[in-house]
């Protein structure tokens, strides 16, 4: 690949200003646009298609694990929020309210949902009477609103699209299994489809979802070393069941509260995709979710175009027939060089060129977005070779991200060490924690790094709390986070 400097205009290099780079990329690649409403963005077709592919991959997995989709109202009566104390305290500051409709003031104001635990809890209370009604395994694809003070496209907007699973179970054990099962679904999806390695683990109490007993997360590392919570799964215990009276008569003829869970991922994943794989040339998407997997470009003098096109159409048809998402760009008003840069910027994983010399040689030239590597492929069995290449790119992108993460994951024994790493190198820092919230807060105050999660499978066990030096109860990933 030629040097970045010469070919990418209008994109700020990551090293100069990462935020600027991010904004430049997503706007230039037309993934989104700002809207006239504060903090709300427009998902343009290329951005929305990423979401559609994420949806498709997750929806299939949800169905495979026994869930069904349903849809609940956007408006939530104010009184619902009062039924779970921590929940209301957690969400109150960011709720928008509908106070008037049809020219009249409403008797009870309606919140625009920030999440649907309350509405769904209310409905579940009516649907669940007997242990025979359990489990209830429902997912909802929806938009939600949280009035954010500081927004960033895809990562944090006032309105966003997401998926929220809500399940109810007869026992704690079963609900906890569900919580972990869905966390694993997220991990597997994010790693295999989005090619983003994640750390799975449990959130500390202070980072828990409002109203949850336990919260688990998958945490990803962006290219600036900051953490992004890519998905969460909550064991809600009986909290919402008690608030909404979700009770059932069990086999032993005892009236019991159901144990509920909830779990979600959002369009934030699009932001993760961009910040994990993108570089100074622009976006880079893993083949499995890339809207366009292959761009096919005819090259060479126009006088010879007819000769090229005679092969071009047949090859394009072959690739398409193999199920490859291919874009044929035969426009003559743009030079090949312009197209190369354009599609690299838009993140297309593979480019294939066909010129007169290739026609003579029964070959095509393929160029990988992830490595810049230029390959000469035979036209025979082209689709087969391309499918294999796309697979290679997918796994290479995961490996590359995993290596980056490894290089930016550190360990710290003391607060001073932790602070030094966070401010000089960035990335994730593994450190011990005594379990005291005061220590966690001290770390946050002094380093701006927060406890991302307590990993299930830490690379090392850290013996002492980084803040107070006492014996550690947990080993925690700390990082500055989005």
Of 60, 85, 357, 473, the one binding RNA by CB under 7 A: 357
For the bound state, the minimum distance from the C-beta of residue 314 to RNA, rounded and expressed in Å, comes to 16
Residue range at the interface with RNA (CB under 7 A); choices 15-23, 80-88, 246-254, 413-421: 15-23
Q: Exposure string (b/e) for 320-347, b if CB count within 10 Å is 16 or more?
A: eeeebbbbbeeeeeeeeeebbbbbbbbb
Between residues 53 and 462, which has the closer beta carbon with respect to RNA? 53
446 binds RNA (CB under 7 A): no
Q: Which of 38, 60, 63, 473 binds RNA (CB under 7 A)?
A: 38
Of residues 204-233, those binding RNA (CB under 7 A) = 209, 229, 231-232
Task: Figure out which of the listed residues 14, 118, 151, 293 binds RNA, where binding follows CB under 7 A.
Answer: 151
Q: Measured from the CB of residue 25, what is the shortest distance to RNA in angstroms?
A: 11
387-394 LR contacts (CB < 8 Å, sep 24+): 387/322, 387/324, 389/350, 390/287, 390/293, 390/294, 390/324, 390/349, 390/350, 391/287, 393/286, 393/287, 393/349, 393/350, 393/368, 393/369, 394/195, 394/286, 394/287, 394/288
How many whole angstroms separate alpha carbon 384 and alpha carbon 382? 5
With contacts defined by CB under 7 A, name the span among 46-54, 146-154, 402-410, 416-424 that binds RNA. 146-154
Any contact of residue 152 with RNA (CB under 7 A)?
A: yes
* Sites for RNA among residues 169-188 (CB under 7 A): none
| The one segment of 79-87, 173-181, 347-355, 397-405 that binds RNA by CB under 7 A | 347-355
Residue 190-209 contact track with RNA, rule CB under 7 A, x = bound = -------------------x
Q: Using an 8 Å Cβ cutoff, are 291 and 50 in contact?
A: yes
Site for RNA in 90-109 (CB under 7 A): 90, 93-94
3-state secondary structure 242-281: HHHCCEEECCCCCEEECEEEEEEEECHHHHHHHHHHCECC
Phi first, then psi: give them for residue 39, nearest 5 degrees.
75, 5
The CA dihedral of 335, 337, 340, 341, to the nearest 10 degrees, is: -110
349 binds RNA (CB under 7 A): no
Alpha helix (H) ranges present in 362-451?
Answer: 382-407, 415-424, 437-447
The minimum distance between CB 12 and RNA, in angstroms, equals: 10
DSSP 202-252: EPPGGGS-TT-SEEEEEEEE-TTS-EEEEEEEEEEETHHHHHHT-EEE-TT
Backbone torsions φ then ψ of 74, nearest 5 degrees: -75, -30
Nearer to RNA, 140 or 267 (CB): 267
| Window 316-345: residues binding RNA (CB under 7 A) | 332-338, 340-342, 344-345
User: Per CB under 7 A, does 8 bind RNA?
Assistant: yes
CB closer to RNA, 125 vs 346: 346
Q: Does 155 bind RNA (CB under 7 A)?
A: yes
Is 268 a binder of RNA (CB under 7 A)? yes
According to CB under 7 A, which one of 365, 375, 402, 468 is a site residue for RNA? 365
Distance in angstroms (rounded) separating the CA atoms of residues 99 and 18: 40
Degrees (nearest 5) of the Cα angle 27, 30, 34? 55
Least distance (Å) from RNA to the CB of residue 157? 5
The minimum distance between CB 441 and RNA, in angstroms, equals: 8
CA dist 74 and 48 (Å) reads 21
Q: Which residues pair with 259 in a beta bridge?
A: 169
Is residue 280 a contact point for RNA (CB under 7 A)? no
Q: Which stretch binds RNA (CB under 7 A): 79-87, 255-263, 266-274, 470-478?
A: 266-274
- Binding residues for RNA, rule: CB under 7 A, are 1-2, 7-10, 17, 19-20, 23, 34, 38-39, 90, 93-94, 146, 148-153, 155-158, 160, 162, 209, 229, 231-232, 264-268, 281, 299-303, 332-338, 340-342, 344-345, 353-359, 365, 367, 372, 374, 445, 448, 481
């Amino acid at each position: 690949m030629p040097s970045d400097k010469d070919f990418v205009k209008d994109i700020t290099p990551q090293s100069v200003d990462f935020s600027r780079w991010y904004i430049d990329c997503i706007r230039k690649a037309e993934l989104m646009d700002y809207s006239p409403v504060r903090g709300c963005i427009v998902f343009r077709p290329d951005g929305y298609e990423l979401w559609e592919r994420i949806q498709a991959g997750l929806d299939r997995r949800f169905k495979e694990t026994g869930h069904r989709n349903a849809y609940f109202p956007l408006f939530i009566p104010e009184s619902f929020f009062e039924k779970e104390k921590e929940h209301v305290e957690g969400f109150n500051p960011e709720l928008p309210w509908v106070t008037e409709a049809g020219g009249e003031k409403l008797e009870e104001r309606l919140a625009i949902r920030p999440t649907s635990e309350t509405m769904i809890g209310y409905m579940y209370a009516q649907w669940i009477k007997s242990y025979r009604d359990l489990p209830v395994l429902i997912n909802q694809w929806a938009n939600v609103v949280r009035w954010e003070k500081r927004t960033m496209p895809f990562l944090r907007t006032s309105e966003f699209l997401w998926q929220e699973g809500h399940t109810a179970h007869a026992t704690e054990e079963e609900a906890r299994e569900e919580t972990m099962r869905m966390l694993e679904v997220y991990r597997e999806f994010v790693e295999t489809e989005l090619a983003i390695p994640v750390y799975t683990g449990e959130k500390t109490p202070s980072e828990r979802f409002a109203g949850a007993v336990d919260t688990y997360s998958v945490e990803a590392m962006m290219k600036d070393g900051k953490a992004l919570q890519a998905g969460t799964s909550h064991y809600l215990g009986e909290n919402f069941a008690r608030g909404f009276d979700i009770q059932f008569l069990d086999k032993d003829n005892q009236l019991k509260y159901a144990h509920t869970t909830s779990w979600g991922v959002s369009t934030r994943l699009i932001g993760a995709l961009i910040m994990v794989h993108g570089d100074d040339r622009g976006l880079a998407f893993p083949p499995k979710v890339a809207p366009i997997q292959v761009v096919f470009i005819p090259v060479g003098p126009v006088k010879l175009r007819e000769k090229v096109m005679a092969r071009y159409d047949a090859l394009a048809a072959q690739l398409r027939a193999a199920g490859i998402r291919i874009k044929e760009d035969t426009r003559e008003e743009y030079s090949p060089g312009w197209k190369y840069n354009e599609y690299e910027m838009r993140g297309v994983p593979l480019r294939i060129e066909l010129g007169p010399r290739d026609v003579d040689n029964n070959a095509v030239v393929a160029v990988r977005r992830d490595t810049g590597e230029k390959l000469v492929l035979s036209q025979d069995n082209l689709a087969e070779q391309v499918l294999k290449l796309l697979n290679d790119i997918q796994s290479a992108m995961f490996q590359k991200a995993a290596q980056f993460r490894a290089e930016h994951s550190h360990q710290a024994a003391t607060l001073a060490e932790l602070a030094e790493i966070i401010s000089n190198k960035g990335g994730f820092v593994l450190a011990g924690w005594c379990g005291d919230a005061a220590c966690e807060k001290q770390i946050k105050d002094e380093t701006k790094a927060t406890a991302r999660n307590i990993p299930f499978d830490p690379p090392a066990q850290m013996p002492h709390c980084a803040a107070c030096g006492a014996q550690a109860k947990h080993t925690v990933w700390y990082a500055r986070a989005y």
